[in-house]
Structure 1
Amino acid sequence: MNDAPMLHPSFQSKFSSRSMGVKLLIVCALALVMTIPALFVNDLVDDRTHRASDVVKEISSHVGGQQTFLGPTLAVPYDIPATSSAFNAKHGTYLVFPAQASATVKTRAEEKRRSLFKVPVFQADLNFEAAFDLNGVPSAAPQGAVLDWSRAEFIVGVTDARGAISDGSLTIGGKTLPLSPAETTENFSLGSDAAQQLKLKLFGARPGNVQPNSHFAVTAAMRFSGAQRIALLAYGKTTRLNMQGDWPDPSFDGGFLPVNHNITPSGFTADWTVPFIARGVRAEGVGDTLTGLDTTALGVSFVELADPYQSVTRSLKYVLLFLGLLFLSYFVFEVTTGKRVHPAQYVLVGIAQIIFYLLLLSLAERIGFDFGFLVAGAATVTLLSTNAGWIFASRAQAVRAFVVFALLYTLIYLLLRLEDNALLVGAVASFLAVAGAMYFTRSIDWYGSLPDTATPNQ
């Protein structure tokens, strides 16, 4: 028979509720539970992000969207007569790229707004130069193909012709010809992935005097609008590009990065050089020669340094760390002051933290992430520190809480801005926070109840 005394259930429950160890476990559990509302905030951010994306597509559709250009390329129709082995005649287009190509692009960008959303749009003046050497052409034509040089035309390409601001022109031998929809019937697409193929709208000019084994130079000029990104394909065996713009935050992308660039608050300049060996596309061939040209795009994206939705999403990734440190701070205050804090009060603190993210999102859309974080953070820190003063009935404790929470929010902001070093800083800060909690609670009897007054540290 067990003679050990049995605790009355109500007394045992009361004891458990007052145990410091159990209280810490409850606080940790509450921190985990409070991450659930953060998931709904994350869904709200996704919804706003999709809305912003829809606005971008709507505005872009009116100005041409992301534009990619192909410089002057010679297109020569060919026929393969029917033979005994091939009963049907075949037709196609033979492409010849210039031996030397150079282009200059000057852009002027601005932001177009729709409600709270904004999209960078641009106008671009493009000037192409192309030097052709037709000695030995054709060298990669299909067997039996007969090229019709009388119907040869120079083509240029663009992804969305609706962005044309003025008519384009092509000059050869001192004669200027207007660009019009190309007469070639072949539909050129770039890229092997059908779902992501880049389709070009072709414009051309037929000079009527192109002959094999000749040398000549061609220039072309166009003016187009677009949104977010502009790119030029490496259309020559050797291609050089100089691009200038007034956008202060360009992002260089595509198959090749510029060999040199300069970015200032008033704009940027960049130069690319793509030699033939790096281009990886034949100098001439049938229409599918263009397939691999999409990997040679020389692009500039007009981006904002601080995307509010991306920044808020990144801040939500630290929500568990943030709530954990916040609850841990209140628990340390509770232990060192001897004042009991009800779990419901922890829940209110967690709700205040979730509302911080809603404030941050709504303010970042209007005044940017940095100022939004400052305003939302200052408001939340003030509320939390005032709440600490109410709970612990001490102005000194309110000041102490203000300092601690201000440092905590500063840490979170730094984590969002450090990017590459965020993990290291976050890990070190968390380690120091836990070490501080261990120090301030070193004299606590975790099996005992919460003392009525603060216990001085020994």
Structure 2
Amino acid sequence: METQKQKKSFGQWLKTSITVRMLMVGILILVLLIPLSYIKDLIRERSYRQEEVVREINQKWGNEVLLYGPILKIPYQVHTLKKTWDDKTKSYNEEDVITIKYAFFFPNTLDIKANIESETLGRSIYESVVYTADMKITGSFTTPNFETQDIAAADILWNKATVQVNSTNLKGIRSNLELKLGADQYPLRSRYAQNSYTNTLETKFLKDSSLPKENTIDFSLDLLINGSEQLRFIPVGRETNVSMTSNWASPSFNGNYLPDTKTKQISDQGFKANWKVLQINREFEQEFFGELPHINASAFGVKLLIPVDEYQKSERAAKYGYLVIALTFLVFFLIQAISKIHIHPFQYLMVGLALTMFYTLLISISEHSSFLQAYAIAGSAVVLLTSMYSKAILKSYKFMGFIAASLAALYAFIFVIIQLESYALLVGSIGLFLILGTIMMISRKIDWKNE
């Protein structure tokens, strides 16, 4: 009889012990982290799928555009004295070996006016922003200076001089390119360039009347090009001025230089921006001899952003999943401890699974509507399901209302944190401090003596 009483008392202790309940709740929270990790993987997988579709759309329409030029390219001769020993004459024969190298001269002035007409292209549930840029490029070349390299005038091959324009996206060009140089017109044609980060368009050999031998020569070029996401320029002019207008309302100005804040305008109808970059602001010279270096680090321009990234917000929401589960379980535990109502571990598990379903609902609904609508629908569904289930467990409308209000406040709190950027940490810290204070006040009523 004594053994049966001991067994009964031990079994009763397991059911009523607050410590045992806390351990069981903690174990269940750790177990529910497994489905949460799978949900995070699902969100990342859908995000990668979106990136793949966007890249495919952009490749067919036209990738980002980086424009670089026009550049005056003039070949010149380099003389090398080569000595060979002649056994017959017992002396050295000297030979003048001539090699051809190229000098590259950037414009004295470079003015670019770009009008960007943007739109969104979609495939299935995914979207990408693309654009058509109508650009007017004008400027001038001054007389090249070969004296810095001690190149004789006779070694300059003026008759083989050309002008080249470099771009990362030849596929997107939608107009025949005619470079006006002085009074002459020159068509630009593709030229293969090995180990180059841009594609090269080059004119035929320039006429003597188009060469800036003594006087400044003006140039102009009209360019219509399809691109996606970004449009950038490298400031190769001694003075580079870029004026940009667009109907896209969510620009991100990036690169090595930002537009003039006094003239920059952003509205719901689009944006306007102007840049002015001087040679002294750059890290490279105005002319190069031998080959062009990689100067794309000096590029600047605009990135057209899709305002809302649903997957990024869903992933941020999922990071708070363990907090939602832990706090909800804590609410149930406090109710159980204070009211002496027995809650089975299986019932805790059901509540936890209902909470994890919030994130699958959120990601699936947000793919077909806005994040706000998806969050509201998923949150309302989970709050309703959990509160109705708590009514069946706790047998009280008062506790049901408390559970519903707690979950609604928690989801609203997390939504506010997701929307904030600069103040997310501050608001989150204050919110968690208030939650901790509330729990400490409620937990005072728990009787720990029977443990």
Global fold match (TM > 0.5): yes
Hey, what does 2:200 align to over in structure 1?
A: 201
Contact 1:66 1:230 in 2 (8 A): yes
Q: Helix, strand or coil: the match of 1:78?
A: strand
Fraction of identical pairs, as percent: 28
Amino acid of the structure 1 residue aligned with 2:42: L
Kept after mapping to 1: 8 A contact 2:142/2:212: no
The residue number in structure 2 matching 1:69 is 67
Question: Equivalents in 2 of 1:141, 1:339: separation in Å?
Answer: 96
Tell which deviates more after alignment, 200-209 or 150-159.
200-209
* In structure 1, distance between residues paired with 2:450 and 2:151: 90
Query: Take 2:401 and 2:364, find their aligned partners in 1: how far apart are those partners?
Result: 28
Contact conserved, 1:241 with 1:271, CA < 8 A, in 2?
yes
Q: 2:358 aligns with which of 356, 363, 367?
A: 356
Counterpart code for 2:417:
L
Contact preservation (8 Å) 1:248, 1:267: yes
Distance across 1 between alignment mates of 2:205 and 2:182: 13
Give the letter for the 1:445 counterpart. D
Larger radius of gyration, structure 1 or 2? 2
SS in 1 for 2:134: strand
Aligned counterparts, 1:87-236, within 5 A: 89-134=98-143, 136-137=145-146, 139-140=148-149, 146-182=155-191, 187=194, 189=196, 198-204=197-203, 206-209=205-208, 210-236=211-237
Residue 244 of structure 2 corresponds to 243
What is the match of residue 54 of structure 2? Answer: 56
Q: Which residue of 2 aligns with 1:192?
A: none
Which residue does the alignment assign to 1:277? 280
C-alpha separation in 2, matches of 1:447 and 1:144 = 102
Q: Which amino acid aligns with 1:202?
A: L
Call closer, same or farther: CA 1:444–1:103 in 2, change over 3 Å.
same
**What are structure 2's unaligned runs of at least 5 residues?**
84-94
Q: 2:63·2:228 contact (CA, 8 Å) conserved in 1? A: yes
Q: Which moved more, 1:78-87 or 1:111-120?
A: 78-87
Counterpart residue type for residue 16 of structure 2: R
RMSD (Å), alpha carbons = 2.5
Cα displacement (A) at 1:390 = 1.9
Alpha-carbon deviation of 1:176?
Answer: 3.1
SS in 1 for 2:386: helix
Evaluate the alpha carbon distance shift between residue 326 and residue 143 of structure 1 in structure 2; reply closer, same or farther with a 3 A threshold.
farther
TM-score by length of 1: 0.88
1:38-63 CA-to-partner distances (Å, cap 9, x unmatched) read 11111111211111111112111111
Change in 2 beyond 3 A, CA 1:7/1:285: farther
Deviation at 1:230, TM superposition (A): 1.2
In structure 2, C-alpha distance between the alignment counterparts of 1:205 and 1:7, rounded to whole Å: 105
Are the aligned partners of 1:170 and 1:205 in contact in 2 as well (CA < 8 Å)? no
Q: CA deviation at 1:288?
A: 4.0
| Match status 1:332 vs 2:331 | no
> Which amino acid is 1:266 matched to?
Q
TM-superposition CA deviations, 1:116-155 (whole Å, max 9, x none): 1111111001111122222534535889993321111111
Note closer, same or farther for the CA distance 1:403–1:443 as it changes in structure 2 (3 Å cut). closer
SS in structure 2 opposite 1:44?
helix
CA deviation map 1:287-319 (0-9, x unaligned): 54431x212212211112210111111112222
The match for 2:86 is none
Deviation at 1:215, TM superposition (A): 1.1
Residues 385-415 of structure 1: CA deviation (Å, up to 9, x unaligned): 2222221122232222222111110001011
Matched residue SS, 2:450: coil
8 Å contact from structure 1 (residues 80, 90) kept in 2: yes
CA contact (8 A) 1:125 1:224 kept: yes
1:290-369 maps to which residues of 2 (within 5 A)?
Answer: 290-291=293-294, 293-369=295-371
Structure 1 residues 269 and 31, CA gap change in structure 2 (3 angstroms): same
Letter in 2 for 1:48: R
1:254 aligns to 2:255 (yes or no): yes
Change (3 A) 1:91 1:388: farther
Task: Give, in angstroms, the shift of residue 254 of structure 1.
Answer: 1.2
Question: Partners of 2:373 and 2:154 in 1: how far apart?
Answer: 66
| 1:270 partner amino acid | A
* 1:98 Cα deviation after fit: 0.9
Unaligned runs of 5+ in 1: 190-197, 450-458
When normalised by structure 2's length, the TM-score is 0.89
How far has the Cα of 1:200 moved from its partner? 2.9
Aligned to 1:286: 289
Please state whether the residue corresponding to 2:293 is helix, strand or coil: helix
Give the Cα separation in 1 of the matches to 2:383 and 2:202: 61
Distance apart, 1:206 and its partner CA: 4.2
How far residue 358 of structure 1 moved from its aligned partner, in angstroms, is 0.6
Structure 1 residues 84, 370: closer, same or farther in 2, change over 3 A?
Answer: same
| Residue of structure 2 equivalent to 1:194 | none
Question: C-alpha displacement at 1:357, in angstroms?
Answer: 0.6
| C-alpha displacement of 1:10 | 5.9
Contact 2:253 2:303 in 1 (8 A): yes
